[in-house]
DNA sequence: AAAGTAATCAACCGCAGGTTG
DNA sequence: CCAACCTGCGGTTGATTACTT
């Protein structure tokens, strides 16, 4: 492929992650083009944002959808259609990408089972497949059971997961994008995935006055208290992580800070 | 144990809408 | 008001992992 010179693509490395987190902490999670430039990452702002939103954000849950979440996704999808970001806002800790993938995967399963079961109709098949990892799911006897029987879902397999939304227009006329995670009060315990990086990060901030002075970050995400994460990266010893967090020389840094 | 297939996840792309100068 | 730029969204693809034969 003809790649734009100097622009990296593909999977992110641990070091890139560390660097990105550092700069998001410094400058907030809005000005992605700027962050991409000053961080020294050879990534586009877009790519940085995506990585942050889908993987590095401290509020992210990981792992399987709970039955409750599954049900919510169904309900919300019937309401909003493929407005994944909107759905994601109602599922704290889940990203639009995650929900999108989930929906795609499960709707495919459903479509397949439907196809099979078409000859011998069995109304409960789809529902049970949707809650396959949860015997306690109430989908089959809740209103959402109807959702998975929408005409759109019975339509051609090609568009198996795309209902287009039943109440799209009415759902959110003139809705404004906020970009911010709408974290609602939530009873279930959060499972965060980035514990150690945040610990490391706090530590490195405490011990790194040179950057502290610039810490006027906007994002409320820093209030999160991550407790678990899959990244080995964040288990690095402090010395190692501090070294990684020094991507920019002072002069380089100041040139950006002062314009 | 190896090969083939399916499922899952991360990341890219193009577009639309918003913001700013 | 307009053009340029930036951000966010939804769709899609490719790589990796898990499962089956």
Distance CA A234, CA A222 (A): 16
Structure tokens at A193: 């995935």
Q: Is A176's CB less than 7 Å from nucleic acid strand B?
A: yes
How far does the CA of A122 sit from the C1' of B6, in Å?
Answer: 24
| pLDDT score for A47 | 92
CB A29 within 8 A of CB A217: no
Q: Is A112's CB less than 7 Å from nucleic acid strand B?
A: yes
Chunked in runs of 10, what are the mean pLDDT values of chain A (259 residues)? 64 91 88 88 90 87 82 85 85 88 80 59 38 35 37 38 40 35 35 45 47 38 38 38 42 46
In this structure, what DSSP letter does residue A9 have? -
Q: Is A196's CB less than 7 Å from nucleic acid strand B?
A: no
| pLDDT score for A73 | 87
| pLDDT score for A62 | 76
Strand B nucleotides, any atom under 7 Å from protein beta carbons: they are 7-14, 17-18
| pLDDT score for A90 | 85
Residue spans of the domains in chain A: they are 14-59+190-257, 67-171
- Which residues 62-91 on A are within 7 A of strand B at the CB atom? 64
Q: Is A109's CB less than 7 Å from nucleic acid strand C?
A: no
* Tally of CB atoms within 10 A around A138: 14
Instruction: Write the DSSP assignment of A86-105 as a string of letters.
Output: HHHHTSTT--HHHHHHHHHH
| pLDDT score for A128 | 36
Distance from the Cα of residue A226 to its chain's centroid:
15
- The label of the residue with tokens 């051609």 reads A156
Checking phi first, is residue A175 left (phi over 0); if not, alpha (psi -120 to 50) or beta?
A: beta
């Amino acid at each position: 492929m003809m790649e734009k010179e100097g622009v990296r693509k593909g999977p992110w490395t641990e070091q890139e992650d560390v660097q990105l987190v550092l700069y998001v902490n410094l400058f907030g999670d809005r000005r992605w083009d700027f962050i991409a430039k000053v961080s020294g990452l050879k990534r586009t702002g877009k790519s940085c944002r995506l990585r942050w939103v889908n993987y590095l954000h401290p509020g992210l849950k990981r792992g399987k959808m709970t039955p409750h979440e599954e049900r919510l996704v169904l309900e919300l999808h019937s309401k909003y259609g493929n407005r994944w970001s909107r759905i994601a806002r109602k599922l704290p800790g889940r990203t639009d990408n995650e929900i999108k993938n989930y929906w795609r995967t499960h709707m495919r399963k459903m479509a397949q089972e439907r196809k099979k079961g078409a000859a011998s109709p069995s109304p409960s098949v789809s529902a049970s497949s949707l809650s396959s990892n949860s015997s306690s799911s109430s989908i089959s006897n809740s209103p959402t059971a109807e959702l998975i029987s929408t005409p759109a879902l019975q339509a051609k397999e090609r568009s198996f997961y795309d209902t287009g939304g039943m109440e799209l227009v009415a759902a959110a006329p003139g809705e404004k994008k906020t970009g911010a995670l709408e974290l609602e009060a939530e009873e279930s315990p959060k499972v965060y995935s980035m514990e150690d990086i945040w610990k490391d990060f706090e530590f490195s901030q405490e011990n790194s006055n040179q950057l502290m002075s610039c810490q006027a970050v906007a994002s409320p995400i820093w209030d999160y208290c991550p407790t678990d994460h899959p990244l080995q990266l964040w288990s690095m010893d402090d010395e190692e992580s501090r070294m990684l967090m020094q991507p920019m020389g002072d002069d380089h840094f100041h040139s950006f800070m002062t314009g």
